[in-house]
Chain A
Amino acid sequence: MSKVKKKVKTIKINVDKCNGCRACEVICASFHAAPKYSSNNPARARIRLIRDPIKDIFVPVYAGEYVAAECAGRDKYVIDGKEYSECDFCRASCPSRDVFREPDSGLPLKCDMCEDDPSLKEPMCVQWCLADALTYEEREEEVEEDAKLSDMELGLKALVDKYGWQKLADGVARLTEKG
């Protein structure tokens, strides 16, 4: 694979500034509703706030890749005297928890940096985080060219992992007959 120049979009997360409001979840879910803003449901957000105000744990986590199986072990981190589970930082849409999966279908969710046409100045969660816990940054990087899975392919992959090829093929066949 060849190297290409790529604009890398990053969001800097300053957990010290987070006030736990979950506006990032609200706006992400609304923005991705179809039609846009037609509904709100933080359970569909591609960002989740891991929140435990008494332990002072506030970690906004972005939805990353779908994984078929959960990790074998669960490590713990102690930072500034606060104990975090490894999952508190993990971006995976993983069967061990209900985050980053569509609540009804269970299909994985992934942050797409609010891809839109025309493209946004800043992702929606950054715009709605008035506490400045989320800051948007762009930088150029040289990366390996890589085939990127589309949303549909991601969904399919998840279904395959869940039900196996055969069941899925049967299902598709049945639906085709009906349709």
Chain B
Amino acid sequence: MRYAETGYNLEIDLSRGNIERIETDPGLAQRFLGGLGTNAKILWDRVPPEVEPYSTDNLLIFGAGLLTGTPAPGANRTIVSSFSPQTKLMAYSMMGGFFAPELKHAGYDKVIISGRSPELVYLWINNDKVELRDARHLRGKGTLETADLIRQELKEPNAQVAAIGLAGENRVYFASIEQGRSSASRLGIGGVMGDKRLKAIAVRGTKDVNIAHPAEFMEYCNEVLKYIKFREKNPLGMVPPILAGLGSPQEMRLHDEEWHTTNFAWGNARRRRKDFWTDEVEKNWTETSEGVRQRFLSCYNCPLSCGASVAYPGVPKYMMKCYSKLTYTMAAMSDLDFGFRINSRAQEYGVDGFTTPQTIAFALELYEAGILTDQEMSGMPSDSEERFFWLLERIVRREGIGDVLANGTYWAAQEIGRGAEEYAHNNIKKHEQLPLKLGMLNPIYFLMYSTGEKINITQIEGQFPQAPFAKREEREEFVKDWIQVPEEKFKQYFLEWEPRGDNSIPYYPSVEATCEIVDWMEKMHYLDDSTGMCAGLSSFPLKPAYHIHNLASIISAATGLDLDEAGLAQAAKRNRTLLRAINVRRGLRRADERPPEDHWKHRFPELETTLLDEYYKFKGWNDQGIPTRECLNDLGLDYVGEDLEQRGILSNEQSKKEG
């Protein structure tokens, strides 16, 4: 019997309409865990680097995490992996909600989609019965509406549906896949789904997911719940409210938005408004939020309820995710009320809540600068909020200038030319970043921004405080019950970190300590993305419920695998290195690993070079950020090394030298 995993994948070839249920190799979990790890293995094995993201040979994989479907609180992630139309690199985006547990209960760990359907279809997975169904009548329908219509026509109110909207159908480079209160938004995987002419996947499952060591496993689960309760009663002091609790940022619960509105830049990631937040704004925004919030919503088997349903008068109801209420608000230099209004539309169309507002703000800036002309923007209203709606419509339909903008700021700037490149200033590896523009280079963030394979800081950071606390006593207080650190020395790094003076950024933490801190944070994310654990309980917040010391036992109890802390760390490293190899094979090199030039006002080229050099070494990569033969062999990824050598990406000689 297989534990925690089902042992089966579904293979769907849309070109031929072929459906197969394939038993998977039981040895894979020990090496790659599941979710992201096994998704990456499939992409390495089956998608050669020449394959274009929008082509029949690209795969779109919906993978459930290894722990998803077990009672481990918060283990509910679906990891959607493919190649990004925007970056051309591997794309993976996670979604919470209810999809992956249902898939496990239907008897599958993954749905692997290949080919392209001749007509728009949807996939219906009902335990052993799996079929492709005509979806032509759903063309152009919104994401939530599609889910509703499918549930009605299947007469299956309990089916979980992941769907694309108009943006996905029109292959927008930042189209999302939406699923109830959650979505897989980043890097355009909704566009890949649209390219495959797959409107939705509906799933219903009523089978068991087995646990290897039930009593022990349940004890761990109860401990986690106990800790969550404790933290709900005892939020961390010393940090802004938004960072004090567990879960994804509690954007629908907290009204103190000083942190976001004053630290993040407005418009096209341009302007800090340090005095924006006033008592009056707080009062108004609190009223707005409370007025439209219908109910706090949780994902499957998680008590944190980070989302909420929103009933804004006059627009269809929807479910707010994370921080989208502010991304549109701030990009449009507008008001929270607008954020709530436009999100309803944006989610029905299925677009990424970070890239979309930024792309629109970018276009408006180009217009102000005279680079985009009245002719290109003909018909655009004069009011700023209405302009956002207008451009959103153009983008999701790929109409006029919308067709150019639908490829994101990097590609749009290339196409527009005339100096537009200067305005696409907030990208890493062609992908839009959070609108952050800060003063002094932070070495930890420099490395995370530069090297993160997710190309999205919120999915790399966590665990280690973003900034030093002002007073030593506060730091001492903080480290007292900091059991989540991998080793004691991390407490010391933090204790001695000062806001000013010798022990402050950019030269503190030391290069060595910085490498260790970044590696730790990243490792936790790789574990979450393989187990299907929500980052909100694990890799993202300070002092989370799951950490490097309890995860190995939890995974072992659920799966029966023989994994200790070291083994788990090794599996995380294997997955991380494999992802790097996939991207290296597609051309990723050191030159791509740069945060936006204006991310920090004060940059330190020498230090930055040293940081990258040392971090690459720390990771077992060469000076181009390519994993060495030795590193790959150590991880049992010899075949990866051989492939990289055959392609001349790793030279034999160099490998000999290092191996």
Which chain A residues have a beta carbon within 8 Å of chain B's beta carbons?
19-23, 26-27, 30, 33, 35-44, 52-54, 56, 58, 98, 103, 128-131
Contacts and interface: CB of A to CB of B under 8 A. Distances in A.
Closest 4 CB pairs of A and B: A130-B303, A37-B214, A43-B206, A103-B206
Contacts of B209: 39-41
B217 A37 contact: yes
B208 A33 contact: yes
B179 to A, nearest CB: 12
A44 B207 CA distance: 9
A52 B232 CA distance: 27
A40 B493 CA distance: 42
A19 B180 CA distance: 13
Contact of B208 (A26, A41, A58): A41
A35 B299 CA distance: 27
Nearest to B216: A37
Given A54-B148, A130-B228, 16 more contacts: A19-B296, A19-B305, A21-B298, A21-B299, A21-B305, A23-B73, A35-B214, A36-B218, A38-B210, A38-B211, A41-B208, A42-B101, A43-B207, A54-B317, A56-B311, A130-B232
A41 B319 contact: no
B205 to A, nearest CB: 8
26 contacts: A19-B295, A19-B297, A20-B297, A22-B98, A23-B301, A23-B302, A23-B303, A30-B211, A30-B214, A30-B218, A36-B214, A37-B71, A38-B210, A38-B214, A39-B208, A41-B206, A52-B157, A53-B180, A53-B295, A54-B144, A56-B294, A58-B295, A98-B206, A130-B225, A131-B303, A131-B305
Given A39-B210, A41-B208, A130-B225, A30 B71 contact: yes
Contacts of A35: 214
B591 interface: no
Contacts of A43: 105, 205-207
Please classify how large the interface on chain B is, using the bins under 10, 10 to 19, 20 to 34, 35 or more: 35 or more
Interface string B281-325: 000000000000011111111110100010100000111000000
Contacts of B105: 41-43
Interface of B: 69-71, 73, 98, 101, 105, 144, 148, 157-158, 180-181, 205-211, 214-215, 217-218, 225, 228-229, 232, 294-303, 305, 309, 311, 317-319
A43 B160 CA distance: 14
A37 B212 CA distance: 10
A151 B317 CA distance: 43
A36 B211 CA distance: 10
A127 to B, nearest CB: 8
Nearest to A52: B157
Nearest to A132: B303
Contact of B70 (A21, A22, A40): A40
A56 B299 CA distance: 15
Nearest to A24: B301
A27 to B, nearest CB: 6
A19 B306 CA distance: 10
Nearest to B558: A40
Nearest to A31: B218
B211 A40 contact: yes
A41 B70 CA distance: 9
A40 B71 contact: yes
B207 A19 contact: no
A37 B73 contact: no
Given A20-B298, A36-B214, A130 B229 contact: yes
Contacts of B217: 37
A106 to B, nearest CB: 11
B206 A53 contact: no
A91 B471 CA distance: 58
B299 A26 contact: no
Contacts of B305: 19, 21, 131
Contacts of A30: 71, 211, 214, 218
